[in-house]
Amino acid sequence: PHPESVPVNMLVPIEGTPLGDSPAISVIEMARAIAVCRIVFPKSWVRLSAGREGMTDEGQALCLLAGANSIFVG
């Protein structure tokens, strides 16, 4: 069975952590990841989660068009 919810987080690199030097991914890469989740988990809620604060409104809209059902706020 599919999970009820699949949160998709965008990496937020923080200096001093193991992934602190990682480059940020593009909005297109994030939209692709969401589209893959939508294909793999067609019955689940795909939710745009952490890291979306750094995206433009257009980028967030693209993620919704790619298959996200909702955006976590707060």
Q: Which residues pair with 61 in a beta bridge?
A: none
Residue range(s) defining the domain that contains residue 45: 1-5+23-74
Tens digits of residue pLDDT in 2-52: 899 999 988 888 899 999 999 988 999 999 999 999 999 999 999 998 877
Number of domains in the chain: 1
Q: How far apart are CA 13 and CA 3, in angstroms?
A: 27
Q: Is residue 56 part of a domain?
A: yes
Q: Looking at the domain assignment, is residue 14 inside a domain?
A: no
Q: How far is CA 63 from CA 13, 18, 30, 67, in A?
A: 20, 27, 7, 7
Structure tokens at 39: 């294909």
Is 15 domain-assigned? no
Taking the whole predicted model, whether its pTM rises above 0.85 is answered as no
